[in-house]
Structure 1
Amino acid sequence: MSGGEQKPERYYVGVDVGTGSVRAALVDQSGVLLAFADQPIKKWEPQFNHHEQSSEDIWAACCVVTKNLRETCWDKAGHFFDLPDFLSWKATGVTARSLCSLVCKWTYSAERGWDDSFWKMIGLEDFVADNYSKIGNQVLPPGASLGNGLTPEAARDLGLLPGIAVAASLIDAHAGGLGVIGADVKGHGLVCEGQPVTSRLAVICGTSSCHMGISKDPIFVPGVWGPYFSAMVPGFWLNEGGQSVTGKLIDHMVEGHAAFPELQVKATARCQSVYAYLNSHLDLIKKAQPVGFLTVDLHVWPDFHGNRSPLADLTLKGMVTGLKLSQDLDDLAILYLATVQAIALGTRFIIEAMEAAGHSISTLFLCGGLSKNPLFVQMHADVTGMPVVLSQEVESVLVGAAILGACASGDFASVQEAMAKMSKVGKVVFPRLQDKKYYDKKYQVFLKLVEHQKEYLAIMNDN
């Protein structure tokens, strides 16, 4: 390139397959989201609590959203894919698997590979045949380039050019973690500025919540998944905590309340979401005290769908104590607040388990749908006593996916370099430290709730 020529702009497409839709974004080299598209995907519920989706329908939705951006089944060969690897195969024809999927969802070890004895023990020794060709014998770290990029057929379906680099994928929550955890925090007054990246916890909050912490050496945390080597950030071990159906729980509590129809009418009249309306209603009824103090006598244990971390007990149930006969809008707002606090208290519970095992966490990096809710963010800061960093780009999962593409294209030397350049801090929410004593008490009650639930179970099971 001659001195007078300008280097052409480079762009990356991040694709995120969620529970209800496929979303895509066009992201530039500085991590700015330039265009966005989404497309719903079909869901079937043949029986209660049994959900099915079609991978072919998901691929079709990927094609729609990618084409929209530009305009602004398992195969009979006998391969078994996780969805991210299926989509990579559809795009490139390459059957290589992502280390992330195999390590986090299967029984693959980054150090030792597959374990023959496991498959034989469960009667699936067929998978061992032909050097594990059915489930993956070429395993690549996230961000590695797959084959020769987009095949002509996939390029036509997606509305892109053949040969565009395609990266080995990440699970959606892990892409969110990648999209936030490496942000340059200089000038924001954060203690993690002088600390290693291992002091950061990425919390991806949507239908469920995932808590992604990384470490230089493997740390085993009871009730928290992992450690997985290079499953999110290359060269680091990942521990993954989680809370089941957090976003769904908030919806369940609000939509099932007697005052919900009134809330809908009032929110619609103000052209607000029901949650924006509830947040402003809480500010209205708090009087002289901080909003969080409205739940002094209302407490929630949030495991309506069992506990994933740190108790790993799917039999646990939800609990609410402090209910009254009245069911007006004030009561709905306070129950909503108590539910949000319970989810934040659950995050604190996970953090304490991680720290007890050897993690040292000072700062939360939130992304996902619930991170758009200011009350949810503030409660996480207040309950944990830690500052919460929000990304400049709200769609952090898509930025994380685009970071992988940027790395696969060769424009960045490593995932870490791409993370530092493409992740930007948007807002920092600091905890109200003057309220610490109150939240410490709420946490004591929180732990008592599950302790008592186990006592009730023991009484009922006593012969």
Structure 2
Amino acid sequence: MEVPGGDREPGSYYVGVDVGTGSVRAALVDQRGTLVAFADQPINQWEPQFNHHEQSSEDIWAACCVVTKKVVQGINLNRIRGLGFDATCSLVVLDKEFRPLPVNHEGDPHRNIIMWLDHRAISQVHRINETKHSVLQYVGGVMSVEMQAPKLLWLKENLRETCWDKAGHFFDLPDFLSWKATGVPARSLCSLVCKWTYSAEKGWDDSFWKVIGLEDLIANNYHKIGNKVLPPGASLGSGLTPEAAKDLGLPAGIAVAASLIDAHAGGLGVIGADVRGHGLACEGQPVTSRLAVICGTSSCHMGISKNPIFVPGVWGPYFSAMVPGFWLNEGGQSVTGKLIDHMVQGHAVFPELQAKATARCQSVYAYLNSHLDLIKKTQPVGFLTVDLHVWPDFHGNRSPLADLTLKGMVTGLKLSQDLDDLAILYLATVQAIAFGTRLIIEAMETAGHSISTLFLCGGLLPAYARATATQDPSRVCDLHHSSRQRWNLDPLSKGRDRTRNLTVPSRIR
């Protein structure tokens, strides 16, 4: 789709591709950073059994080709200067000839990606953590089952003949896309540091891979998992190959940047937002006082510092993994947007909600927000949940407890199941997610961070802003919105608290 006000006059253009959990999105921007066009395309997911989540690299590449062709329609292709990818930190498995290999017991090579939220490797990650290896201090002291080492160990122990022995290349999904576009199998520092235990200063640690039983990955200078590492944004090889250019509908030879994980791309984009001229309390404060919260299927909390800060239960510190020259700490909640979908879509009156939202040409969540305003009467909307509470760790706790065994809980349920009950359950869920963020902030500040402002982006933003405004874990000082996110958030700017600021940046420098 073309974005109103987009500039299609002569100039340079750049294409960005974002691969999320459920869809691929592409944006065309001009040399000033103005969004010119946007397109999205759903991608398939498989869940063959509980805690197993899989995708297809061929399916994802095909979706990338659809969206890039859409956003450059009507554009002089000779003015396109560059291409960049970000994607979820999912594990892509290919053989020695770069063909897909199965990551499933069914032997289906089309499903060759273990998704980021896959929790099949619980036994493996427990054993890794029992080693108490020194690299674990850089992941908050406890490795997550969502990182790549336990998934690799699971493949070795469970799919030795059909996958592990045949594997030639293991990629993080962002790096797979960069390779597919350029033929260069280099890895991004972002992916390797944040998900693979690589050190920006020391490189790979042989002793770690040996002690966890994956010493075979050391062979040929770590050829299978990456021995050429580039900083995010570095130009790859000779640019876009002719074959990839034909697939994507873009000119051959244009620059292709080393990739970023999707949350880190969002963090990089918003943490440096230009807030001048809006009268915000955060104007003039250092960038290290900002926390970028990327809230979608899951939520990630990105804070940077000049010196390394070790936060128990929070990933990092990672050097130059997101912002060059800064250390990154990354908190997170494994399911947030997915949890809201689960709670709302599983309710008995969801069909009624769908019908009413459709009749108003609204999303179900916009309808729920308006319904909450209707039923709150004269009291603040947050008081609707005084007797209903949610513990949101339905998929374990990533931060700050770092306990994948935790489960979710709802307390205060009644026998009634009407639309009011669903709306209040929805509100209690987003409030719980917001309070989870508060726990992460408190852990980071206890360890040495000084956070004054939250910068939010992502599809969960409207619900998150409502929760923070009504429950007051943050002071909402101002809310701006991008051309892709035009939610009416002005009423939320009245929420107040003593300590913090919440802002949604409209312009990125």
Q: Same fold (TM over 0.5)?
A: yes
1:87 maps to which residue? 177
Mapping 1:1-400, distance limit 5 Å: 9-72=11-74, 74-77=94-97, 78-371=168-461, 373=462, 375-381=463-469, 382-387=471-476, 390-394=480-484
Cα contact 1:344–1:384 (8 A) shared by 2: yes
Render the CA deviation track for 1:255-278: whole Å, top value 9, x for unaligned: 222222221221111111111111
2:37 is paired with a residue whose SS is: strand
2:3 maps to which residue? none
1:123 is paired with a residue whose SS is: coil
- Rounded to whole Å, the distance in 2 between the matches of 1:91 and 1:295 is 49
Ranked by relative contact order (alpha carbons within 8 Å, sequence separation 6 or more), the top structure is 1
The residue identity in structure 2 corresponding to 1:193 is E
2:358 is paired with a residue whose SS is: helix
Q: TM-score, normalised by structure 1?
A: 0.82
- Rounded to whole Å, the distance in 2 between the matches of 1:379 and 1:199 is 22
Render the CA deviation track for 1:40-69: whole Å, top value 9, x for unaligned: 222222222311111122112212211222
2:495 maps to which residue? 432
- Rounded to whole Å, the distance in 2 between the matches of 1:262 and 1:306 is 31
1:288 is paired with a residue whose SS is: coil
- Rounded to whole Å, the distance in 1 between the matches of 2:416 and 2:348 is 10
2:53 is paired with a residue whose SS is: strand
Q: Offset at 1:241?
A: 0.7
- Rounded to whole Å, the distance in 2 between the matches of 1:41 and 1:329 is 31
Cα contact 1:345–1:383 (8 A) shared by 2: no
Unaligned runs of 5+ in 1: 1-6, 397-425, 437-463
Render the CA deviation track for 1:151-202: whole Å, top value 9, x for unaligned: 1111111111111011110001111111211111012222221111111111
Taking only aligned residues, the RMSD between alpha carbons, in angstroms, comes to: 2.2
Seq. identity, %: 82
2:197 is paired with a residue whose SS is: coil
- Rounded to whole Å, the distance in 1 between the matches of 2:33 and 2:376 is 39
Moved more, 89-98 or 55-64: 55-64
Q: Offset at 1:390?
A: 5.0
CA separation of 1:227/1:431 partners in 2, compared to 1, >3 Å: closer, same or farther?
Answer: farther
- Rounded to whole Å, the distance in 2 between the matches of 1:323 and 1:125 is 51
Q: Offset at 1:30?
A: 2.5
Q: Offset at 1:391?
A: 4.6
Structure with the higher helix share, 1 or 2: 1
Q: Offset at 1:380?
A: 2.1
Cα contact 1:100–1:232 (8 A) shared by 2: yes
- Rounded to whole Å, the distance in 2 between the matches of 1:45 and 1:221 is 33
Cα contact 1:365–1:390 (8 A) shared by 2: no
CA separation of 1:242/1:345 partners in 2, compared to 1, >3 Å: closer, same or farther?
Answer: same
Q: TM-score, normalised by structure 2?
A: 0.74
- Rounded to whole Å, the distance in 1 between the matches of 2:490 and 2:254 is 34
Cα contact 2:188–2:231 (8 A) shared by 1: yes
1:56 is paired with a residue whose SS is: helix
- Rounded to whole Å, the distance in 1 between the matches of 2:60 and 2:95 is 15
The residue identity in structure 2 corresponding to 1:432 is G
**Number of residue pairs matched by the alignment:** 399
Q: Offset at 1:83?
A: 1.0
Render the CA deviation track for 1:111-167: whole Å, top value 9, x for unaligned: 100111122223333322332222222111111111111111111111111110111
Moved more, 111-120 or 131-140: 131-140
The residue identity in structure 2 corresponding to 1:57 is D
Render the CA deviation track for 1:82-116: whole Å, top value 9, x for unaligned: 11111111111111110000001102000100111
Q: Offset at 1:431?
A: 5.7
Cα contact 1:367–1:390 (8 A) shared by 2: no
Q: Offset at 1:288?
A: 1.1
- Rounded to whole Å, the distance in 2 between the matches of 1:235 and 1:283 is 45
Q: Offset at 1:231?
A: 0.8
Render the CA deviation track for 1:380-423: whole Å, top value 9, x for unaligned: 24532233655524479xxxxxxxxxxxxxxxxxxxxxxxxxxx
CA separation of 1:100/1:395 partners in 2, compared to 1, >3 Å: closer, same or farther?
Answer: farther
2:65 is paired with a residue whose SS is: helix
The residue identity in structure 1 corresponding to 2:409 is M
1:109 is paired with a residue whose SS is: coil
- Rounded to whole Å, the distance in 1 between the matches of 2:394 and 2:367 is 25
Cα contact 1:298–1:320 (8 A) shared by 2: yes
- Rounded to whole Å, the distance in 2 between the matches of 1:390 and 1:118 is 45
Cα contact 1:181–1:365 (8 A) shared by 2: yes
Q: Offset at 1:75?
A: 4.4
2:354 is paired with a residue whose SS is: helix
Unaligned runs of 5+ in 2: 1-8, 75-92, 98-167, 500-509
